[in-house]
Chains A and B, each alone.
Chain A
């Protein structure tokens, strides 16, 4: 039984048309504080589309995506402050700025999440955990992994209570992966809801309480991880059952 708690993310009858041949349909999805949900699926199944709809970058064709009770694609400052987004895309930075300047920029536009100074301190703490030290280097000249670290810090420095992650492990070294997971787990324990899109089934099984599996834009499985593992033996086996036609 699901707990009756405050809903952070609520999706109802969501339809997003991204091209003439692809439409993502999510009938229902609710996230409560302290939950971790992984969205899994093959390449091009619609994971990133779902993530971008949740953070309000893509307008729904129909249906509703609400974050903390506000429509995700509205300009509501409450929604923007609530979400911490860690994208899987190198272009989500400003290459001309140094990491320090970038964090200062983000801290300067966040108002209700504590003082700017506090956010900069938080950025340094996160950087220390992720072993990121290149504060004075222009972001465009950073390695792929370091850019990802910057994006993780940028997504978390305002202490959001809803974290949206797209392929957390991509580009990170093993130590940074462990550290990033620790940070997210700590956020979860602190009451933040986390939704993570990934194609890494092993990681999803280990990390998530709940799994949403998408195939060609349709949800084919939405259940607690433990139920899936009990039923199929592992998430990988369950995945192969749903994708058996592709083999």
Chain B
């Protein structure tokens, strides 16, 4: 295979960090990722087996659901990962090198999209197991439903790859518009099953979610414009002098393109979700559980934070009284950002609960936990800009804490309103973990 070395290098750059045997590390990490995907998929399949699903759902509805969920999930993951890429990142360096290689169009395109495809394939495997089980239970054709799931994921990636709009914020907006229109149409079609145009509407829902697949085609034919490298128009945003010195890390996060994009994307998504709930007068059965969306976004953002500094002994360490000073600055900044990210959903749901103060306390505890989980994952793995694999695993680690902790603390039988203290204590423990990790890393620096 002529391009074997090239594919190996792409895997190494994206999935093997700080390793002396990079290719073996990349393979073992990918193996671990796929293994986890299968394991989680199989675990959740049992839950689907026990769940009470409507007995006679039309196949069109199942297909629409599969495409919609896949697009929403795939698009969110790829947008978040894309937000944290910069022109100076490691994978951008590889892209520059690839740009100068005499490669056929297909190989060049493959080299650009491969890391994203690998990440999506893990989601595809995990979700594929689940939707296949759900399709079987609902007596639909599992092959068709899984194919729709995969197409939905690819469509989410297509949105990120498409040439227009180029700006990531606009892509985020397009993502929200597609999701809102698609889900609105889906709601309407499900509620009007006897309407003359029901069948047409069902196809329409699928078509809306699959429209961004055009982005894949576009990226193939216009790839030279994607691979061009120009990082000089980056503008430096200045923070006013009245920001206190202790919040320097917040300033650093804002000035860093990667974390700023990541924060703005998470905030925008939550604002749009909150707005759509308010505008559609959506009443949810359990407003507490909806706050988890903000928590996931906060954890994903926090997962990017540690990567803005050097892994070992960042230069800032001399100014902020050692590793603990660094950790404390990060914790403060991440808590503030985490709280801001979740606020839109809090405002949107606040009118739907009786005990407003208790709701806010739950929100605060949850956001604290999620921010700390994300930061701890980030501190452990230190995902650099453009390291798709490490970013993905950090995100998975951060968000899976949200799933693992309630199981571990046996919270499934406790009402959400009474869980606040658990989340708060767990958040503080995770925060402590960040201090310990940074201190150990500082203490062991230079030892082999």
Contact = CB atoms under 8 A, between A and B. Distances in A.
Nearest to A110: B102
Contacts of B100: 55-57, 80, 83, 85
B88 A91 contact: yes
A18 B233 contact: yes
Contacts of A229: none
B280 interface: no
A167 to B, nearest CB: 17
B105 interface: yes
Given A18-B233, A97-B9, A109 B101 contact: yes
B3 A74 contact: no
A59 B225 contact: yes
A57 B94 contact: no
A228 B95 CA distance: 40
A220 B82 CA distance: 41
A228 to B, nearest CB: 30
A105 B94 CA distance: 12
Nearest to B92: A91
How many A residues are at the interface, by size bracket?
35 or more
Contacts of A95: 90
A94 B94 contact: yes
A96 B229 CA distance: 22
A81 interface: yes
B99 A96 contact: no
A83 B99 CA distance: 12
A111 B5 CA distance: 14
Contacts of B105: 75
Contacts of A55: 100
A222 to B, nearest CB: 24
A55 B20 CA distance: 32
B8 to A, nearest CB: 8
A78 B102 CA distance: 7
Nearest to A105: B5
Q: From DSSP, what is the main secondary structure of chain A's interface residues? A: loop
Nearest to A19: B233
B230 to A, nearest CB: 5
A108 B3 contact: yes
A15 B225 CA distance: 17
A80 B224 CA distance: 13
A15 B4 CA distance: 39
B22 interface: yes
B223 A75 contact: yes
Given A80-B100, A92-B96, A92-B97, A52 B229 contact: yes
A97 B103 contact: no
Nearest to B93: A91
A117 B441 CA distance: 44
B407 interface: no
A73 to B, nearest CB: 7
A94 B93 contact: yes
29 contacts: A56-B100, A57-B228, A57-B230, A58-B228, A58-B229, A58-B230, A59-B230, A73-B224, A73-B228, A77-B103, A77-B104, A78-B102, A80-B102, A80-B103, A94-B12, A94-B13, A94-B93, A96-B12, A96-B19, A104-B5, A105-B6, A109-B6, A109-B101, A109-B102, A109-B103, A110-B102, A111-B2, A111-B102, A112-B102
Interface of B: 2-6, 9, 12-13, 16, 19-20, 22, 88, 90, 93-94, 96-97, 99-105, 108, 223-225, 228-230, 232-233
Interface of A: 18-20, 22, 49, 52, 55-59, 73-75, 77-78, 80-81, 83, 85, 91-97, 101, 104-106, 108-112, 138
